[in-house]
């Protein structure tokens, strides 16, 4: 009886040890946030642009400054290089009824990014690490004006089931005002499909 208990105990200990050895350590499990799903995806390399986002000004003060038929226009451009370094440029201006930019109405927010690994998000989303290295607000009409945008955050998202011609970009300003989601389209001459 003692021999049978010893044998059963030894089998259980060996089974437990074997199961522990076969399990994946927590640090290397695919769903662990500390581990990147992939490295920088070279299919992101290229130039991506949004369509112009135009909205008629309705605020009384804005209409008094820019005119009753004026609209604000925003365009977004992301240029990704082979190193994963990228330049993001947001251009905003006010245009008249004919679509002409009004004097002193244009400003540019430009950020230098380092795009890294992609991680699985909700459904088919792949969220790419996007570190803001530096960011500044500029006014083309005043070459000496440079306003640092400390605290700017950017997200870059692709889709595993997409055709690689679009990406989503989330732009969160330090003050919160002016934050937006935007769809960017690959410009001609770009690399292959932007997939994981």
Dump pLDDT digits (tens) for 92-141. Answer: 999 998 889 999 999 999 999 999 998 888 888 999 999 999 999 999 88
46: alpha, beta or left? (left if phi > 0; alpha if psi -120 to 50): left
> Is 174 contained in some domain?
yes
User: By residue range, what is the domain housing residue 151?
Assistant: 42-186
> Is 5 contained in some domain?
no
Dump pLDDT digits (tens) for 41-83. Answer: 898 999 999 999 999 999 999 989 998 899 999 999 999 999 9
Asked whether the beta carbons of 141 and 103 are under 8 A apart, the reply is: yes
> Is 153 contained in some domain?
yes
How far apart are alpha carbons 155 and 131 in whole angstroms?
9
Q: Which residue has the higher pLDDT, 143 or 193?
A: 143
- The total number of structural domains in the chain stands at 1
What number is the average pLDDT over the span 10-23? 37
How far apart are alpha carbons 2 and 6 in whole angstroms?
6
State the CATH number of the domain containing residue 99: 2.40.128
> Is 54 contained in some domain?
yes
Residue found under tokens 């950020």? 111
> Is 195 contained in some domain?
no
> Is 34 contained in some domain?
no
How far apart are alpha carbons 156 and 167 in whole angstroms?
7
Q: What is the pTM of this model?
A: 0.74
SS percent in the chain: helix, strand, coil, step 5: 15, 45, 40
Q: Which residue has the higher pLDDT, 16 or 95?
A: 95
Whether the pLDDT of residue 23 is over 70: the answer is no
164: alpha, beta or left? (left if phi > 0; alpha if psi -120 to 50): left
> Is 37 contained in some domain?
no
Backbone angles phi and psi of 156, in degrees to 5 = -120, 130
> Is 136 contained in some domain?
yes
């Amino acid at each position: 009886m003692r021999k049978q208990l010893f044998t059963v105990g030894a089998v259980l200990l060996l089974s437990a040890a074997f199961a522990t050895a076969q399990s994946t350590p927590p640090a290397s499990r695919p769903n662990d946030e500390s581990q990147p799903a992939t490295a920088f995806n070279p299919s992101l390399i290229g130039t991506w642009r949004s369509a112009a986002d135009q909205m008629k000004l309705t605020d009384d003060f804005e209409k008094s400054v820019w005119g009753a038929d004026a609209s604000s226009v925003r365009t977004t451009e992301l240029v990704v290089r082979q190193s994963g370094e990228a330049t993001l440029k947001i251009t905003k201006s006010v245009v008249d009824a004919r679509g002409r930019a009004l004097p002193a109405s244009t400003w540019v927010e430009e950020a230098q990014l380092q795009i890294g690994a992609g991680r699985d998000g909700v459904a088919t989303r792949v969220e790419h690490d996007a570190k803001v290295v530096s960011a500044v607000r500029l006014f083309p009409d005043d070459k000496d004006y440079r306003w640092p945008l400390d605290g700017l955050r950017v997200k870059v998202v692709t889709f595993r089931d997409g055709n690689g011609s679009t990406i989503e970009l989330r732009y969160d300003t330090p003050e919160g005002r002016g934050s937006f989601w935007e769809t960017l389209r690959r410009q001609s001459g770009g690399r292959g499909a932007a997939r994981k």
